[in-house]
């Protein structure tokens, strides 16, 4: 089970700060999150950046998620 930690923006929609999800890749993980949290939309998720086991991945659609991995949703950083 991967541990998913939500940003403060997403916590307003999920009602909790983290959850354990059984998914082997990011696409399945998002699908499971959308099933669990009705207030959560795909758009809200896609505008966030994601870190899987500490590595920030801008667009992780095809990323594998380790079984004991940690997935953080974060504010997307651009820069100057």
Q: 72: part of which helix (H) or strand (E)?
A: strand 70-74
Rounded CA separation 37/59 (Å): 21
| 72 lies in the site for other proteins, by CB under 8 A | yes
- Interface stretch with other proteins, choices 18-26, 28-36, 47-55 (CB under 8 A): 47-55
Q: Which is nearer to other proteins, 38 or 58 (CB)?
A: 58
- Interface stretch with other proteins, choices 6-14, 18-26, 27-35 (CB under 8 A): 6-14
| 12 lies in the site for other proteins, by CB under 8 A | yes
Q: Which is nearer to other proteins, 35 or 58 (CB)?
A: 58
Q: Are 15 and 53 in contact (CB under 8 A)?
A: no
Q: Are 63 and 30 in contact (CB under 8 A)?
A: no
Q: Are strands 49-52 and 18-21 parallel, antiparallel or unpaired?
A: unpaired
Q: How many residues are recorded in the chain?
A: 80
Binding site for other proteins (CB under 8 A): 5, 7-9, 12, 47, 51, 53-59, 70, 72-80
């Amino acid at each position: 089970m991967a541990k998913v930690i939500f940003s403060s923006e997403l916590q307003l929609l999920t009602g909790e700060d983290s959850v354990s999800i059984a998914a082997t890749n990011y696409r399945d993980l998002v699908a499971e999150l959308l099933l669990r949290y009705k207030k959560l939309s795909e758009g809200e998720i896609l505008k966030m950046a994601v870190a899987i086991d500490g590595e920030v991945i801008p667009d992780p659609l095809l990323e594998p998620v380790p079984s004991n991995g940690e997935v953080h949703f974060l504010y997307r950083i651009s820069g100057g």
